Chain A
Amino acid sequence: MVTRLFTDMTKNDFLPAGLMAAGLLLAGCVTINIYFPAAAAEKVADKIIEEVWQAGKGGEENGKSGRNINDKTDGKTDSKTDKTDKTKP
């Protein structure tokens, strides 16, 4: 049976086609069993994190501006003290 099949295949030159089919099937099976695409997932994660924490960056800026305001108020108090210093004499 097997030899008959084999002779049939060689007769009709089906062996290369059979091998190709088997190869494709194997490649298909291997490729279809996809592993977790870690690199692509990292990129997506970074993008999402950037979007989600963008508001936080705004908050950061607000925080910085808050500090600036404090600095300004410090400056004002300094100027006030300067003024008081000036008024004192």
Chain B
Amino acid sequence: MCKQLINFLMLTALILFMCAGTATAVDFEANTPAVTRLKQNMQQRHSQLAPFYDSGAVGLTRDGLVALRDANAVPLSSRQSVNSLVTAENQDRNALYREIALANNHPEWEEDIRLTFAQRWTASARSGWWYQQGNGSWQKK
């Protein structure tokens, strides 16, 4: 009885340990068809968004999205297109964070992924682009 119990415990522990081992050994996953599709979308959109980053009309928010921070910097003719670009970009960014979390079988990581991306977008931004600081204020890089 006791031997059986210990054997069972050991087996369970071993399986758990092995599972955990493989889980930690696997790198942070972000190569799914959904992620690739979102990346391509965003890549294509970036050439349209870049001038607005340059002018300061659009900035990088602290929650890993983009926002129209200075509508006056956008010519009237392209205000509508800027709004739709920002909306589409944010949809893709939200989906990207969610998809990466799902790719890692940890949907609860979405917010951590979002915050990581927020920091990295800002760090990778070109000088002259605007980003939102932790307290919500805008800062020019």
**Contacting residue for B120 out of A22, A36, A49, A56, CB 8 A:** A49
B30 and A14 within 8 A (CB):
no
A24 and B10 within 8 A (CB):
yes
User: Given contacts A21-B10, A56-B46, A60-B126, is CB(A27)–CB(B17) below 8 Å?
Assistant: yes
Would you list which residues of chain B between 1 and 33 have a CB under 8 Å from chain A?
A: 2-3, 6, 9-10, 12-17, 19-21, 23-24, 27-28, 30
State which size class the interface on A falls in. 35 or more
The chain A residue sitting closest to B12, CB to CB, is A25
B46 and A48 within 8 A (CB):
no
A21 and B46 within 8 A (CB):
no
User: A-side binding surface: helix, strand, loop or mixed?
Assistant: helix
A44 and B19 within 8 A (CB):
no
A24 and B47 within 8 A (CB):
no
B113 and A41 within 8 A (CB):
yes
**Contacting residue for A28 out of B13, B49, B51, CB 8 A:** B13
B86 interfacial contact with A, CB 8 Å: no
A55 and B121 within 8 A (CB):
no
Contacts A28-B15, A56-B126 known; 8 new A-B pairs at CB < 8 A: A12-B3, A18-B6, A21-B10, A32-B19, A43-B28, A44-B30, A47-B30, A53-B46
Contacts of A8 in B (CB 8 A): 2
